[in-house]
Chains A and B, each alone.
Chain A
Amino acid sequence: MSGWLVAGAGTLGVGTYFGWDGFTIQSGNLVVIVVMIILFVLALVVPFPGGKRRK
């Protein structure tokens, strides 16, 4: 039981926050948003692999 409580408490973290003029965002959320934007751009510009043309 005590191990469970310690493990549960151990998941807490302070976290890293970035802020600019009143705007604040947690680092994990910022990373996810940046990854999504990068994937969006790459999906538009990177050619699809495979030369087997269909139909």
Chain B
Amino acid sequence: MSAQTKPAQGLPADDDAHTWTGKARRWMLGKLPPDKLLPEDQPSYVMSWAYVFGMGAIASLLWIIVSGAVLGLNGPQWYHVSSLGSFVNSTHLWSVELFFIFMVVHLWLKFWMAAWRGGRVLTWVTGMLSFVVSIVAAFTGYLLQTNFDSQWIAFEAKDALNSVGVGAWFNVANVGQIFVWHITLLPLAVGAVVVLHVLLVRVHGVVPPLEAAEGDAQLLDASPAPGHPPGPSHPLESANSQDSAEPRDAAR
């Protein structure tokens, strides 16, 4: 057993991290320091409706999870018969509708903003992945309405799923299996991808509008890493800041 020195109580030294936990902490703090994880301000161009719909989708997702937990705990005999159950069931459906509406508008806005610029490709990919996984989660929700609609959907879908060879593992005629997919596996997948997406937005920052690409001071890195001079943080900004007299389209 060896003694370790600490600079202060509860604050381990990051410079001499020699365990995987210490190295992981150093890597995470380097990628996402607390002021980037929970920022207090944003560039002025974020004050636009174009930057609202992602948060709208997350708010909808939170209500989907809350109402879904209530529905799952009370069961179909509650949400089909009682008035309160029908109401909660309806809010679950409409929060899903809002989730997809906000997510699709968010996707359109970010597509026309070319939001994968500046090293944000993984942010774009996780956004698309969350859209695809959400579609599967919503599909299993339609299968769990436990009415004749869901029976019709299941028996139409089983042939399509069997034709691509996944029917044995994703059996839409098996309500118990679909229930597990809908309330555990797929929500965990959607939640994990959305959390990763938000963390990547924090790491790289929100994408600037295309119009802001001409040497905008807010695009420059205000807090350079130790040992590095202040300057642009990615090639796009570098191209713009070196020659601001260049036509705007030249940097895109």
For window 2-50 of chain B, which residues contact chain A by CB distance below 8 Å? 41-44, 46-50
Chain A contacts with B in 39-55, Cβ cutoff 8 A: 39-40, 42-44, 46, 48, 50, 53-55
Q: Check if A48 sits within 8 Å of B218, measured CB to CB.
A: no
- The one of A11, A43, A44, A54 that contacts B52, using a Cβ cutoff of 8 Å: A43
B146 in contact with A48 (CB, 8 Å) = no
Q: Which B residues touch A40, using CB under 8 A?
A: 105, 108-109
Contacting pair B147 A9 (CB below 8 A): yes
Q: Is B76 an interface residue, CB under 8 A from the partner?
A: yes
Number of interface residues of A (CB under 8 A): 21
Instruction: Name the residue in B49, B97, B100, B145 with the highest tally of chain A Cβ atoms < 10 Å from its Cβ.
Output: B49
Check A7/B80 contact, CB under 8 A, given A32-B97, A40-B108.
yes
B101 — which chain A residues lie within 8 A by C-beta?
Answer: 32, 35-36, 39
Contacts of B148 in A (CB 8 A): 8-9, 11-12
- In the complex, the answer to whether B41 meets A55 with C-beta atoms within 8 Å is yes
